[in-house]
């Protein structure tokens, strides 16, 4: 008999520090905004020192229009490059990209009425393509600042050793509750 196992105890958060990370495309959604179709790419972000049961996520959203001046055109060119895009042929099923890895640059946008900033995938590139590093101390400082148990080292809480990341979960959750659950 084949088994079908579902992970029941993972948490997700969109409460992530700015920086450059390795990520994996988790989902692709479409929606209408003022009569214009949009596509939303949601990435699982791999944060050094974060408990693996916590799925850190960030998203990019853009009009679902493809042409030389469109953001989607630029976005896919950043991620795959001209040659790989040509290898897809005349059509690309965006759903088929789920599971693909990328380097992503995350930026924050403050929004009125929200306690946490919106975390945006500002740029995407092939894994290993971004120059520089996400520094270990910057991640550690961010974890300490957002740590509900300051007497406990955040990396010890996560039972993980901090690592330098080489630059080579969507839901209706309250950001503070998810962060507390992730580190609590």
**Domain ranges in the chain?**
11-183
Reading phi first (left if > 0) and then psi (alpha if -120 to 50, else beta), residue 99 is in left
- Please give the chain's pLDDT, 184 residues, in tens: 566 766 666 787 888 888 899 999 999 999 999 999 999 999 999 888 887 778 889 999 999 998 888 899 999 999 998 899 889 888 899 999 999 999 999 998 888 888 888 889 989 999 988 855 444 444 445 555 554 444 444 444 443 333 333 332 323 333 443 334 333 3
Query: What pLDDT score does 11 carry?
Result: 80
Query: What pLDDT score does 181 carry?
Result: 37
- Give the number of C-alpha atoms closer than 13 A to the C-alpha of residue 42, restricted to the C-beta side: 14
pTM of the prediction? 0.66
Query: What pLDDT score does 30 carry?
Result: 95
CB contact at 8 A, 18 and 123? no
């Amino acid at each position: 008999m084949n088994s079908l196992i579902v992970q029941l105890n993972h948490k997700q958060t969109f409460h992530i520090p700015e920086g450059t990370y390795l990520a994996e495309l988790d989902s692709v959604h479409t929606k209408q905004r003022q009569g214009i179709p949009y596509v939303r790419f949601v990435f699982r972000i791999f944060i050094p020192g974060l408990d693996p049961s916590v799925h850190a996520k960030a998203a990019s959203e853009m009009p679902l229009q493809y042409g030389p001046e469109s953001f989607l055109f630029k976005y896919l060119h950043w991620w795959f490059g001209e040659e790989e895009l040509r290898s897809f042929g005349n059509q690309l099923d965006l759903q088929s990209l789920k599971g693909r890895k990328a380097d992503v640059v995350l930026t924050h946008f403050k929004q009125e009425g929200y306690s946490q900033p919106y975390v945006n995938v500002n740029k995407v590139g092939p894994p290993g393509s971004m120059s520089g590093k996400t520094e270990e101390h910057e991640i550690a400082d961010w974890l300490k600042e957002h740590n509900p148990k300051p007497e406990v080292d955040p990396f010890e809480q996560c039972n993980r050793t901090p690592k330098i990341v080489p630059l080579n979960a969507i839901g209706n959750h309250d950001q503070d509750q998810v962060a507390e659950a992730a580190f609590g």
